[in-house]
């Protein structure tokens, strides 16, 4: 939390009038724009290979209370767009792996599943 205050203080020193527009956009994004529902989020994290939103959060290093909040209330639209992009990337990668396997008869999915993330 202290680092958040330090970052806020640094950003405040560099504040420009044009930043007001960016702050208002941020508030608008979180308050006014439609959110990804909790059900849609669960579908996305399952598409990414996780059983629950909390399991996804644990894997990416989210605090538990954040993933619990996401599981209950969904995500802001901008955060949802990032997850949808990851899901799209995963699907394209799986399609490419499938094409590779059909051509070479070398199964890549077993190789990737056995690799440990740092």
- Residue 81 reports pLDDT greater than 80: yes
Q: What's the whole-number mean pLDDT along residues 66-73?
A: 95
Q: Please give the residue that has the higher pLDDT: either 26 or 39.
A: 39
What per-residue confidence (pLDDT) applies to 31?
79
Separation CA 52–CA 68 (nearest Å): 10
Separation CA 19–CA 50 (nearest Å): 37
Please report, in angstroms and rounded to a whole number, the separation of the first and last CA atoms in the chain: 25
- Residue 1 reports pLDDT greater than 60: no
Q: Please give the residue that has the higher pLDDT: either 44 or 102.
A: 44
Question: Residues 80, 84, 89, 90: is their CA dihedral positive or negative?
Answer: positive
pLDDT tier, 83 (very low <50, low <70, confident <90, very high otherwise): very high
Q: Please give the residue that has the higher pLDDT: either 69 or 6.
A: 69
What per-residue confidence (pLDDT) applies to 112?
63
Q: Which residues contact 78 (CB under 8 A, 6 or more apart)?
A: 29
What per-residue confidence (pLDDT) applies to 114?
58
- Low-confidence winner among 34-48, 64-78, 102-116 (lowest mean pLDDT): 102-116
Q: What's the whole-number mean pLDDT along residues 51-79?
A: 94
Give residue limits of the domains in the chain: 32-106
């Amino acid at each position: 939390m202290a680092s958040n205050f330090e970052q806020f203080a640094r950003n405040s020193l560099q504040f420009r009038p044009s930043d007001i527009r960016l702050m208002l956009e941020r508030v608008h994004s979180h308050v006014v724009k439609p959110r990804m529902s909790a059900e849609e989020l669960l579908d996305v994290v399952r598409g990414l290979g996780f059983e629950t939103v909390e399991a996804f959060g644990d894997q990416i290093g989210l605090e538990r209370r954040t993933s619990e909040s996401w599981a209950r209330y969904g995500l802001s639209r901008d955060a949802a767009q990032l997850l949808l992009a990851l899901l799209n990337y995963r699907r394209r990668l799986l399609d490419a792996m499938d094409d590779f396997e059909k051509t070479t008869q070398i199964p890549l999915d077993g190789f990737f599943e056995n690799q440990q993330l740092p």
